[in-house]
Amino acid sequence: MTPATAPGAAGNAEGGYEAVRAKVAARFTNPLDLPKEIFADEVVYQEELRRIFNGPFWHPVAHRAELREPGAFKTTWLGGVPLLVTLGEDGEVRAFVNTCTHRGTLLEQRATGVAAEFECPYHRWLFDNQGCFRGAPGQRDFRADFDAGDYALRALRVAELAGLVFVTRDPAAPSLEAFLAEAASPLRDCMLDDGRLTLLGYQKVVYRTNWKTYFDNDFYHAPLLHTGFRLLGWQGGSGKVITTRPVGHLCVEYQSRPYVDNGYLADTSVVEFRGDDDRARVVALRPVTVVTKHLDTINVRFARPLGVDRTEVHYAFFGHQDDSPEYAAHRVRQASNLLGPSGFITIEDAAVFNRVQKTAGDDGYQRFVKGADRPPEQATQNDELANTIGWAYYREVMGFDH
């Protein structure tokens, strides 16, 4: 299946998107220069929802640590589609469109919980946590062709890696392992290989920016923008960089540098490393998920586009089942102070995302410069080269290369 024939794309108004596509394609005169209208055009954004979020991509939506017991559920979104993720009594994780199959009401609005059944508030239709229709008032008067099997919740394909749960709406999407390619191993590494994580908590934020600007947060900027990198002595350094073709997932591994007390922190224990593996890892999975392991913090950033200029990010923080109570408490404290939306080394991102979005309507370009004209295998930790592979795939998916 090609991206253009992904679910929802066939029904797109040809005239509307084709005119915009042709205009944007004409502006892609250099593969290292991005026309800014792709960050501001509503027609482009709607087509991204069809071709990318409803297309042949896999999207992380939960971790098993968020589904702590049989019957547990989590609600989330895939682009503009509400999802209900459940853990059945059989130990299987399932994902459904979170919509009553009768009149289309949002079925479950709690963020998390435990439930054997889900009842629609509108007409009291009932579904179990395996998505099956279980009954409704007045059923003996239903239309003659009514078949309960036709009214099960709409299911999505689900696959897992190291406890991380992925979904896709495209029945022709490749296997998860094929989609992740070389990013699978670093991702397992971030999830501590066995997936036996525990949920520590969430932080949530809405950035005033396009989802692509949020995700395309290169490594070139880190020691330059973030004051915390300089104050904590973490700037510079080299690391191992992995990029995947054709999708363009980006993985970086580097050695954490122990903090030497220089007087900036009143309590240095907040950045103390207490584990047995001090490698820092970042795995950026296209289209819009970032997984990080830095010091003792394990963080998955589940992101959702809210519109052409807004992106919601749920920062989920994890520990491990073998952690002592003291170590778990340390992880909680470090997580909220280090890598959250207002963390020591991430706090400036929101301001920059906003400032980038403010200029998206000026008919200019975003340009990749640092190291960007070298072969992809020569990408380094602090350049922009690795980002360009994903952008090449984006152009193909959106039809801007045609």
Q: What is the pLDDT of residues 9-44, one digit of tens each?
A: 333 445 689 999 999 999 999 999 999 999 999 999
Domain positions in the chain: 59-169, 178-393
Homologous superfamily of 178-393: Naphthalene 1,2-dioxygenase Alpha Subunit; Chain A, domain 1 (3.90.380.10)
Cα 328 to Cα 323: distance, rounded to the nearest angstrom? 6
Structure confidence by residue, pLDDT tens digits, 55-83: 999 999 999 999 999 999 999 999 999 99
Structure confidence by residue, pLDDT tens digits, 251-304: 999 887 788 898 889 999 999 999 988 888 999 999 999 999 999 999 999 999
| Cβ neighbour number for residue 340 with a 10 Å cutoff | 21
Structure confidence by residue, pLDDT tens digits, 233-254: 775 556 789 999 999 999 999 8
- Look at residues 94, 96, 116 and name the one whose alpha carbon lies nearest to residue 106: 96
Per-residue pLDDT averaged across 180-202, rounded?
A: 94
- Domain 59-169 falls in which CATH fold? Rieske Iron-sulfur Protein (2.102.10)
Long-range contacts: 371-374, Cβ < 8 Å, 24+?
372/32, 373/32
Q: Is the pLDDT of residue 208 over 90?
A: yes
Average pLDDT, the chain: 92
Structure pTM? 0.93
Within this chain, domains 59-169 and 178-393 share the same CATH topology: no
